[in-house]
Amino acid sequence: MTARKLWALLAMVVTFGMLLVARTGVIGADADTRASGVAPVEAPATQETAAVEQGPWPPVATFSILGYDPETGEVGGAVQSRVFSVGNGVLWADANVGVVATQAIVDVSYGPQGLELLRQGMTPERVVETILANDPNPQPERWTLEGRQFSVMDARGNVATHTGLRASEWAGHRVARHVSAQGNILAGPDVVDAMVEAFEATDGHLSFRLQAALEAGQAAGGDTRGMQSAAMLIVKEDAGVWLNNDVVLRLQVDDSEQPIAELRRLVEIAARQRERIRGR
């Protein structure tokens, strides 16, 4: 074979190899991988492949408490979770209407939906039924309707709570007069039991009762993944500071190693502010 023919044959082999790499998107076959110990470099995944590999979103693992004070007419809720800024979407409240907590495999729209249905005169039980019936369940594999957890309390302290069968274990709730505690990815039912008992046993402003419930829930095991953020929201018509303010308290601890303790600090600052205002 002449040198010219040898070079032509070599060029054909190189060209064929380059075409094969471009077509398969893999450099090196299994034999090459075994020989070199270097894993093959795969072609970038298509958008369709990437979407499949994303998997389900992590649930909003949370424990929360809704409560009503019949002496003051205030209604509100508090929440703690091992996610950043849990107050951004879980708690919803409106004076003379009620309060909603939406969590677990969460649909944030349950909050405003719940308040609107309460405004229309529905009972909390009917609100829960209506919201679930109207949920289109747009992502059943990744964000299933069956994992929703939410609680609805009206402005008189009547409450109804739902925990879906596919909310992450342990998940459940406990309802008593003027209070509901609910959570998912918890240490167990002792968490919600302790929360309700602490709420009922604590005297003073509604904020202190909600705070005591969070502390009791954490002491009973809380969220099994730990702590990161906490929030509290309390409303009553014209009960906030300044004019035309229905928000008694809107407190958020978005990122902390001890979010419940930090929330306690803010609750106590708010209490001192109320005392100063009363003394004027």
Domains observed in the chain: 3-43 (no CATH), 62-278 (3.60.20.10)
Residue with tokens 């677990």: 104
Give me the pLDDT at residue 1, please: 52
User: Using CB atoms within 10 A of its CB, is residue 165 exposed (0-12), middle (13-18) or buried (19+)?
Assistant: exposed
Residue bearing the bigger pLDDT, 279 or 75:
75
Give me the pLDDT at residue 56, please: 59
d(Cα 251, Cα 197) in Å, to the nearest integer? Answer: 23
Mean pLDDT value of segment 179-185:
97
Mean pLDDT value of segment 200-208:
98
Give me the pLDDT at residue 276, please: 86
Q: Which distant-in-sequence residues (6+ apart) come within 8 Å of 243 by Cβ?
A: none
96: left (phi over 0), alpha (psi -120 to 50) or beta: left
Strand order in the sheet with 91-94: 91-94, 98-104, 148-154, 159-163
User: Tokens standing for 40?
Assistant: 């093959």
For the cut 60, the answer to whether the pLDDT of residue 147 exceeds it is yes
Closest alpha carbon to 186 in 98, 81, 108: 81
Torsion angles phi and psi, residue 75, rounded to 5: -135, 145
For the cut 70, the answer to whether the pLDDT of residue 148 exceeds it is yes
Give me the pLDDT at residue 54, please: 54
d(Cα 117, Cα 126) in Å, to the nearest integer? Answer: 9
Q: Which distant-in-sequence residues (6+ apart) come within 8 Å of 90 by Cβ?
A: 60, 62, 64, 79, 81, 101, 102, 103, 106, 111, 231
Contact 51, 34 (CB under 8 A): no
For the cut 90, the answer to whether the pLDDT of residue 8 exceeds it is no
For the cut 80, the answer to whether the pLDDT of residue 153 exceeds it is yes
For the cut 80, the answer to whether the pLDDT of residue 39 exceeds it is no
d(Cα 159, Cα 125) in Å, to the nearest integer? Answer: 7
Q: Which residues of 4-42 are buried (b: 16+ CB within 10 A; e: fewer)?
A: eeeeeeeeeeeeeeeeeeeeeeeeeeeeeeeeeeeeeee
Please state, rounded to an integer, the average pLDDT across all residues of the chain: 84
**Pairing, β 62-69 against β 98-104:** unpaired
Mean pLDDT value of segment 180-206:
97
